[in-house]
Structure formats: C-alpha cells, structure tokens
Structure 1
Amino acid sequence: MKKIIIGLVGFCAFGVQAQKVKWVSTTDSARWQAHPTLQLKKLDGGVNDSLFLIDVSQKAQQITGWGGCFNELGWKALQVLDEKDREAVLKALFDQKEGSKFNICRTPMAASDFALDAYSYDDFPDDYEMKHFSIERDKKTLIPFIKAAMKYSPKLTVWASPWSPPAWMKTNNNYAGGSLKFEPKIFQAYALYQEKYVQEYQKAGVPLVAIHPQNEPIIKSKYPSCQWLNADSMRDYIKNYLGPKFKEDKVPAQIWLGTITNSDTNWFKKILDDKEAAAYISGLGLQYNSLKALTFLRKNYNLPMMETETRCYNGKNTWKEGEDTYGLMYAYLKGGCQAYMYWNMVLDETGKSSWDWSQNSSVVVDTKNKTFSFTPQFYVMKHFSAFVAPGAYLLTPNKANDNAIIFQNPNGSIAVVVANKGTTTKKFSCSIGGKVLSVDLEAKSYNTFLIGK
C-alpha cells in the first residue's frame, strides 16, 4: 500500500478552525459522497523534509475560475426537460452554494460545430459597413441560455470566439474550411463585425468581457471553421485592425490571443514578440493540445493564460475519460493556467453535432425519457470548481506529486484535490501545522479536502 503524505507549513492563522476537514469523494459507483467531518491529530515526529510540504507563502498563479461553453444544441436539449429538471441542471452547473459554481464561460460568436446550423450575424455579401449586422437569432438561443445560468451565478462573466466569419469574407465562400480573405477591406470589416458583436451582446445584458479572434486558427474541418494560414496574418489583424478599432471606439472588452490548438512556440513568438500587436493582447487562450507550450509562454510572456477547451472525446462519457480530464486539469493548472474550461456543458444522449459527430458533455439529456444524468467529467470539474474559489492561489509544494494539487482560497481555507487512479486503496496523509489527517482513498476515486472552513 503506497502512502502519500502532504505537509503544510505557515498555517497557524487558522487556529482551531484548522482542526476541521470537509471531505467529498467520487467513484464510478458512488458519486459525490460527503463524508463525516474529519479531525486533525497530532503528527508524531513533527514536520520534516521527507513530507510533501506546502508553504502557504509560496504562491503560484491566482485562479480566476471555471466554466464551459454555451451552445445551441445544449439549449435545445434542455428544452426537452420539464421546468423543474431544467432548473436542476442549471443549478448543478452554476449555483454558487450547492452547484459546480461555474463563474466564467465561453460562448461562440455565431455558429460553432454545436450550433443548430451554420450562420453569421451578417450574411449579406459585401456589407463592409455591417448595416445588416444582427444578433436576433442569439436572442432566442444562446442569450437565454446565458441568462438562465446567470440566475444561479449572478457574477458570471463570458468570453467569446468565432468559428467562422461570414462566408462572403472567406476564400471559399463557405462556413466550413477556407480562410479569411487577407485583404485590407475584409480585415477592416471583420474588426467592425467583432466590435459590433461585443457592443450588441453587452446591450443585451450579457457580461461579455473578452473575445479571442479565432477558434482553432490552424484547423480545417467540415463544420464552421476558418484557417489563418500563418501567425503573421493574425498578428497583422490584431495590430492594424482589431486592436486599433477597439481602442479608438473604447470597446469595453479585452482581446486575448486564442483559442490556440498547437504548441509551436514560433507561432506565438511571431505575434507576441511584435510589441505593437502584443500591446493589444490581454491574455492567452490555449486548448487541450497546447500543453507543451505552457512552460515557454509562462517563462517569456507576462500574460494570464486560460485553458479554453478540454478534450472533447467521442460522446461515450467514460470513467477513463474523466481520469484523463483530471490529468489535463492537473497539467494545465500546474503549467500556469488561471482558468479551466469544459466544452459542451449539456448535450442529448447522442452527443451529436449538426455535422454528425459525437462529443462528451457534463450533462446528458435523455430525450426519449426526458431525464438527465451527470457524466464522470462533470464530477472531475466539480471537485475543483466547488471548492476552489475565484481569487484562490495555487500553492507550490517542495516536491512534485501527480496525484494532489493544493490551493488557498481568499478566505484562507485550503482545498486539496487528490486522485487515486489505481486499482487498490491508498493511504493519504495530510500534515498541517503539526497536525495530521490520515485517510484511505478508495480505488479509482477523486477526492477534495477543504481545510479550515
């Protein structure tokens, strides 16, 4: 039996409260199990360097939050449920007391691959002045979804990225594939298009705080997408068109470089080493396959980073995929990311997009029986999001451990998230200020310990 020991120092501020520990665990057969409150005991021999020591003065990045993406197919699936069950799903994801406490989410700028079909906000060819720009469709799907979430998460903030510009702006005149026409009048029109999107969404009461100019800019696909053939084109768009447009018109939203799907450091350098372009960039948005770029980006650029989309899988929603998601969350958080985003929060039982491919979701709606269920990935996310509040700091230990990750919340409490991916029970011991907590972690389990509150 392997023994894992974690020690925390610099913890005396908690006093008596540090004696109490809340523990929640999840296995495939027993999900979100609240255990009786635990008590710390005296640590024989005291704290020493052989323990996995956590010094609360050794803070890494500050956490901004957790969330997922609003999509039309998710809203459609929710409409199958009766009002009580629909509210139960929204509460499970967004409620700030009992739910997953999502506080920062993504929304597509027009059609994503999980829209009902392809569309943009201006499908009138050569409308360079955006006279026909309209978000009326979103007022019936995406915006009601966002506002339904805000009922349970009043401080929710939203950011957006487009999958495709209007087809007439592209080289193939199609929502799928192709690239933006790299012409000054197209760049200028597209910057206006993205500005009007921010303005109209904010007028509609959506707390839109940032945009990422392009979802997956190097991907070619059969669903709405748009390739930016090289980093130079995106650099020039941000530097000469989007950035100056937002600045001139005082658009109240940030521009992030995202959402990026590769680890090619030269791609980032081309944009971020250009001081004029970099001046307009407030952060970096990285998807699940950009992990290898994190160390380079954290070392060379003083910009916040968020993981913008976890791995999508194929709609089977297996326990193993939950374990893989835990591994990704661990790696991206340890790599310096301040926020972590799920992809589809809700889908029906097929998980299918409008382009006939299936992906995972946090919640699955059974449209035949009009019921819903939570997937393993839902619980993995909740083990972090329900206990690690915005403003928390990731704490740096004295040695690496790929099973445990520790945070200090703004109220001073400590959240310890631990996975036991093995097939046997493992002893977990957590030492705090000369006190110790020792428990057996079930095989194939996720666990969160909240210490001090």
Structure 2
Amino acid sequence: MNRARGSTTAVLLAFLFMACGPSTSATEPEGPGGAGSGAGGPGSVASSSTSTGGSTGSGGTDASGSTGSGGAGGEPTGDGGAGGSSTGGGPPVVEPTLITSGPDEYWKTGTPTEVTSGNADVTVDDATTHQRWDGFGGTFNEVGWNVLSMLGEAERARALELLFDKHEGAAFVYGRIPIGASDYAMDRYTLAETPNDTAMASFSIDRDKERLIPYIKAALAVRPGLHLWASPWTPPTWMKSNGAFDGGRMKDDASTLQAYALYLAKFVEAYAGEGITIEAVHPQNEPNYETRYPSCIWTGPLMAKFIGTYLGPTFADRGLTAQIYLGTMSNNESGKDGAIISAVTGDATAMGYVKGFGLQWNMMSSASGLRSRNLPIVQTEHKCGNYPWNPAGSPPFDAQKAPNDHAYAEESWGLIRDWIKAGVTSYSAWNMVLDTAGKNLDSERPWPQNALLTVDTAAKTLNVTPVYHVFRHVSEYVDPGAMRVAATGGDALAFKNPDGSIVTILYNSGNAAKMTVLDVAGKKLQFSIPAHGWATVNWT
C-alpha cells in the first residue's frame, strides 16, 4: 500500500520549559522533507536495533492535520483527522508496502513481489470480519518520565515520537494513568492521605504535576487526540483494613465507600483542570492480587455495591463524562476475578453504570463470555516478562536487570495475537519507558521488568527494545476503526482499515528465513520473513 504522508509535526517545542543537558545519542541520517516547507532534520536515537529515518524538520506548514477526538471510553468513534493542505517543500513521504523484523535486523523496509502462480501460505478474506479495532496504547508511570528527563531535548522528543507519532512511531492512541502510586512510582503515595478525610479536603494532584502530568502533556503534544483512562493500585491507606499501601482489603462501610467514590471523581475533575480528559476509570488494578507493592483486595459483592451505590451515582451527580469500566481484572486463579465479574454483571444496578470491561494477564478466557454484553472489552496490561516465579524458565529469571531480549518479543507476539483473536478492542503495553534495570517497588524482591524503550541513565541514551518493534508491526498501520478480518493458513493477523487498505502481520517461528506467499484482495504477494521474525504488508 502506498499512503502518502506529510511532514511530522515538530515536538521539540513541547519540551522547551525543561532544563536539559546535551544529547549524547548517535545521529541517524537526515529524514526527507515533508509536505511543508521545512527540510528534514536529523534523527537522534541510540537504538539496540535498526531505527527508522530521522525526524522531519519543523519549518513550513504542518500537513499532518489534527487527530479526531473519538468517543469516550474504550470505543472511540473518531480517527485521525484528514491531512491539511500545504505548499512548497519536498515530495510527500510514501509508506512502505513491506516491513520485516528479525533478531539480526529490525524494521527493514521493502516491497513484496507480485506473483501469479503457487499456493498461498496465508490467505486474507476481508469479507469475513470480526471485531472493530480501536488501537494500542501504553502506561504512564513516574519512573518513565524520571528517566526520560535525563535525556537531551532531541532524544526525549524522539522517544515520544517513537511511541505516539502516526508515521514515525507506533501510533499509540491510548494512555493509562495510575491514580496514586503504581509499582513504578518513585515511591508510595496516594492523593488524599489525611486520615478520615471523607470530604476530600486534603485531596491534591500536586505530586502528579512533578512527573505524570508533564509525561502525559508531552504525549498529547505528539498525539492530541490521545484517549486516556485511569486506575488506582491502592485507595488511600486509611480506607483499607491494614492501613498500609501494600496489600490489605477495601473497607466495607458506607462512609469509606462514598469517600472513595468522591476521591475518584475528584481525580477526574482535577485532571480536567489541567486540560487532561479522563475518558474512563477502572476502580481497582488487579483486585485479587495482594502484593508487596501498592495493591488492594476486593470481593465481588463489594465491587458491585461500590459501583452501583456509590461510584456510578457520584459520577452522575457531578456531571462527569468519564465512563466506568469493570477493571482491571487479572487473577483467575480459582476464578477469583471471575467471581468479581460474575457479581457485577449479575447486578442490574451496577451494570447500569458499567460501560466496558478491562482484562489483563490471566483473564483472556473471560473475553468470550463477555462478548454478549455488547460492550468494549479492552486488554489493559501486557505481560512484562522476566517472571520471578519461574527461575528455571527460558530465558531464566534475572534478578538484577530486565532482559529486554528477542525471546520476550516472540512471547509478546503470541500474547498480542491471542488477545486480539479473543475479541478485545484495544491493547495496552505496560511500561513504555524504563531505565535498563527496570526494577519496581516490590519491598522484598524488586522485579526487573521489560519495557518498549529503555534509557541508559549513565550514558544518557535512548534504546529501542525488540518488543517495541513487535507492537509497532501491528500498531502503526492498523488505524482506529479498522475491522479485524479472517487470515488463514499461517501465524497471522489481518485488518481492513476504514480507507479500504488491508494490513497483514505474519510471524515466522522457524530457525530459517521463510519465503512466503500472501493472498490478499485477490493478489498474491511473495516475500521473505526472517527467522523468528515478522512481516507487515500494507496493501490497497
């Protein structure tokens, strides 16, 4: 497929308020001029893999157009805005029809060969459709912005472009925000720690203004229509049975539950005051995991009562447009989070306020049973790899540093593929950016977790990890509003975009490169997929 694009909007202006040191990154070749009059500027990212061309220059009229705002919650109705008109400058940049990645070379562009004979390895049937696709996203955490702030302006801008830009990056359209501390906060906190402050007089997002809000605003500068949703890892400690950030259970009295509903409402309102629209709130991250980092246990009846009697009415009374999702469900051991889903879906009052479902980790099997609800089912957190409960795994657990290796990229492809085939409408990465160690707040066993991008804090350089390319193979060319279509005969996903173009992503698990024939829209296209690698084909 050949889709012309204009020049990328310059994002450096979003960072001028920061005090930044000089960039120490490697310099890529200059990118081509865009549809405006500005010439392409130099790219600057030190990557552990082959990077795309440099960022386009900021001169001239931007031709990218604005991004549509979409609908609320997990099912946006908008898509990227139409490209604006421009004059002068170089020729429009043409998107490639074939991109391949393997352990020896990531993100290699090319062109498939059209053939007229031979059997197809993979066949796409765009007349057989599955679910509507709304897009990919990732999570904003304090540690991510802390390490991004150690980079020079150009590399920090490049990181945001790699994640959110439509034509020079992964084109993420969703962002998850923790309400208070996640396990990748700099330390433990909530937004209202004054004991028994049921009126929320002490509520404050001042802490978030240090890292989270600048991180989000930097992303919004690249992707103005970013869909943002939020979830807490823990309520304020005085609302819990153990009075601590880690573990414990949510109290079950009317005063506490009403105070917590107000807490979540004030979060939405406070962020709106910063110009940040929260489209959906999930009441609790992983409500059946009691961990040594911020967490809280909920039962099914308590969650149903909280949503139906407190949270839903509070949002309605305050005129909030943020939707309530039942999420983020994660632990299906002995059906624990499944019991919460059953309790809430069986409560008509609670379901009057629930507008979607958030599932992650071990809850994939629950997706099929929720389809009949005709509500969005969103995948809320990608598995992070390097599992400490599997020390003899392949690869084995590394207690000192996140591996960020190709093996994790291959694991991630299987997860993304299977969740999408299970029927989810969007998919969220976990940490978008971490330092190279990647350790979380676990008080006894800090867990080194993988990320899409890493920052070497000593060298002050940005690195692109293998798993980033796996996400981008699917996310960049599949537009919000696409329909997943049938792909048979191989390990593949296929989508039909609103403009009629068809995007197919294929994986080769073999130890040797594989010459492959793809039958799409009546055309047979031949190309090679690297060993343990991927190919994305864009075709009209």
- TM-score, normalised by the number of residues in structure 2: 0.76
Question: Residue type of the partner of 2:366?
Answer: A
**3-state SS of 1:282 partner:** strand
CA distance in 2, matches of 1:169, 1:267: 20
Distance 1:432 1:335 in 2: 23
Q: Which moved more, 1:145-154 or 1:349-358?
A: 349-358
Corresponding residue to 2:327 among 254, 258, 262: 258
Specify whether residues 34 and 119 from structure 1 end up closer, same or farther in structure 2 by C-alpha distance, changes over 3 A only. Answer: same
2:121–2:489 Cα contact (<8 Å) kept: no
- Paired residue for 2:191? 121
1:289 matched to 2:395? The reply is: no
Q: Is the 8 A contact 1:288 1:328 kept in 2?
A: no
Task: State how far apart, in whole Å, the 2-side matches of 1:186 and 1:207 are.
Answer: 26
Which residues of 2 match residues 265-414 of structure 1 at below 5 A?
265-298=338-371, 300-314=372-386, 315-355=402-442, 356-397=446-487, 399=488, 401=490, 403-414=491-502
Q: 2:114 aligns with which of 36, 40, 59?
A: 40
Moved over 6 A (4+): none
Q: Which residue of 2 aligns with 1:73?
A: 143
- Greater shift after overlay, 69-78 or 346-355? 346-355
Which position in structure 2 is the counterpart of 1:168? 238
- The number of residue pairs the alignment matches comes to 424
Using the aligned pairs only, state the percent identity: 38
Q: Give 1:393's aligned amino acid.
A: M
Task: Return the alpha-carbon distance in structure 2 between the equivalents of residues 382 and 293 of structure 1.
Answer: 26
Q: CA deviation at 1:38?
A: 3.1
* Contact 2:359–2:380, Cα closer than 8 Å, also in 1: yes
Of 129, 138, 156, 1:86 maps to 156
Q: What amino acid is aligned across from residue 440 of structure 1 in structure 2?
A: S
| 1:133-144 equivalence runs, <5 A | 133-144=203-214
- The Cα of 1:56 is off from its aligned counterpart by 2.1
Change (3 A) 1:241 1:374: same
C-alpha distance in structure 1 between counterparts of 2:118 and 2:237, whole Å: 69
Question: 2: CA distance between counterparts of 1:321 and 1:357?
Answer: 16
Q: CA deviation at 1:354?
A: 3.3
Using the TM superposition, give the Cα deviation of residue 52 of structure 1 relative to its aligned residue in structure 2, in angstroms: 5.1
| Whole-angstrom distance in 2 between the partners of 1:226 and 1:270 | 18
Amino acid paired to 1:323: E
Structure 1 position 154, deviation (Å):
1.3
Per the alignment, do residues 169 and 63 of structure 1 end up closer, same or farther by CA in structure 2, a change over 3 Å counting? same
Task: Tell me which residue corresponds to 1:204.
Answer: 274
In the other structure, the counterpart of 2:538 is: 450
In structure 2, the partner of 1:186 is 256
Q: CA RMSD in A?
A: 1.7
Aligned partner of 1:28: which letter? Answer: P
- Deviation sequence 1:251-289 (CA, Å, 0-9, x none): 110000000013434432221122111111111111121
Separation in 2 of the partners of 1:232 and 1:374? Answer: 44
Q: Distance in 1 between matches of 2:121 and 2:202?
A: 64
* 1:282–1:304 Cα contact (<8 Å) kept: yes
Report if the CA contact (8 A) 2:121-2:517 is conserved. no
- Residue 13 of structure 1: aligned partner: none
Report deviation, 1:21. Answer: 7.1
- The alignment status of 1:232 with 2:301, answered yes or no, reads yes
Question: Is the 8 Å Cα contact of residues 255 and 280 (structure 1) preserved in structure 2?
Answer: yes
Structure 2: unaligned runs, 5 residues or longer = 1-94, 387-401
**Deviation per residue, 1:398-451 (Å, 9 max, x gap):** x574x1010001111100001112112223211234421122222111110001
Aligned-pair CA distance for 1:143: 0.6
Distance of 2:181 and 2:271 partners within structure 1: 15
Q: Check whether the contact 2:283–2:326 (CA below 8 A) recurs between aligned residues.
A: yes
Output the amino acid matched with 1:280.
Y
Q: Which structure 1 segments of 5+ residues have no match? A: 1-19
What residue in structure 2 maps to residue 4 of structure 1?
Answer: none
1:22 pairs, out of 97, 100, 104, with 97
| Structure with greater contact order relative to length (CA < 8 Å, sep ≥ 6) | 1
Secondary structure (helix, strand or coil) at the match of 1:138 reads coil
More helix, by proportion: 1
| Bigger strand fraction | 1
Q: Counterpart in 1 of 2:83?
A: none
Code of the aligned partner of 2:441 = S
Letter in 1 for 2:448: S
CA, structure 1 residues 52+38, in 2 after alignment: closer, same or farther (shift >3 Å)? closer
8 Å CA contact 1:43–1:431 kept in 2: the answer is: no
Mapped partners of 1:188, 1:138: distance in 2 = 23
Amino acid at match of 2:283: P
Contact 1:346–1:361 (CA under 8 A) maintained in structure 2? yes
Task: Report the equivalent of 1:145.
Answer: 215
What is the rounded CA distance, in whole Å, between the counterparts of 1:141 and 1:450 in structure 2? 37
Pick from 499, 507, 510: which aligns with 1:419?
Answer: 507
Contact 1:43 1:435 in 2 (8 A): no
Q: Secondary structure at the match of 1:198?
A: helix
Match of 2:67 in 1: none
Q: C-alpha separation between the residues in 2 aligned to 1:435 and 1:382?
A: 25
For residues 266 and 103 of structure 1, the distance between their equivalents in structure 2, rounded to whole angstroms, comes to: 31
Q: Distance in 2 between matches of 1:44 and 1:324?
A: 31
SS in 2 for 1:405: strand
